[in-house]
Amino acid sequence: MRRVTAGVAFLSVLGSACTGDRGVNADALEAKAVVVVRDIFGGRYAEVRAEFDHTMLAALDEQQLVKARADYEDRFGTFEQMGPPEIVRRGDLTVINVPLRMSLGNGQARVTYDRDGKIAGLYLLRVGVPVP
């Protein structure tokens, strides 16, 4: 089993927040985050990347997503189900924490959206990692 440093087994890339006047409804982002988590564990990485902002697209390719998922599953087991998402605002960013039940323990996914509704950060974490 691989060791996961600081409990973060996924993507520590955080894109730049957009400064436009557009905003996206938090409930819509919550629904999008649930789809992103399903797509990650369903192996639909192109669909996940289609939601990335420019910074994330440049920093994270499909092979890195495959490896990140495999590393996470090495530690926590296979995906079983999600719990209800939690929304946290951080300036221009909307952070959606999604509790995960995995076959070997609980974890959480964190999807961070910019003001345009694009993914500016994506993480698979151990339970309890605070939102910075």
Percent of the chain with pLDDT over 70: 83
Domain range spanning residue 82?
5-126
Nearest to 32 by CA among 69, 40, 129: 40
In a domain, 72, yes or no: yes
How far apart (Å, rounded) are the C-alpha atoms in residues 89 and 7?
22
In a domain, 99, yes or no: yes
In a domain, 132, yes or no: no
Identify the pLDDT of residue 14: 38
In a domain, 74, yes or no: yes
Tokens of 39: 């797509």
In a domain, 54, yes or no: yes
In a domain, 131, yes or no: no
The mean pLDDT of 1-15, rounded to a whole number, is 38
| Model pLDDT for residues 33-81, shown as the tens digit of each residue | 999 999 999 999 999 999 999 999 999 999 999 999 999 999 999 999 9
Question: How many of the other CB atoms lie within 10 Å of CB of 89?
Answer: 10
In a domain, 13, yes or no: yes
Q: Vertex 30, ends 107 and 47: CA angle to 5°?
A: 80
| pLDDT surpasses 70 at 6 | no
Domain count, the chain: 1
Identify the pLDDT of residue 26: 86
Tokens of 120: 């500016």
Nearest to 4 by CA among 132, 126, 130, 129: 126
In a domain, 107, yes or no: yes
Identify the pLDDT of residue 12: 40
The SS3 call for residue 6 is helix
Percent of the chain with pLDDT over 90: 79
| pLDDT surpasses 80 at 15 | no
How far apart (Å, rounded) are the C-alpha atoms in residues 23 and 81?
29
Write out the H or E segment, with its range, that includes residue 4. none
Which pTM was predicted?
0.83
How far apart (Å, rounded) are the C-alpha atoms in residues 56 and 78?
25
* CATH code of the domain containing 89: 3.10.450.590
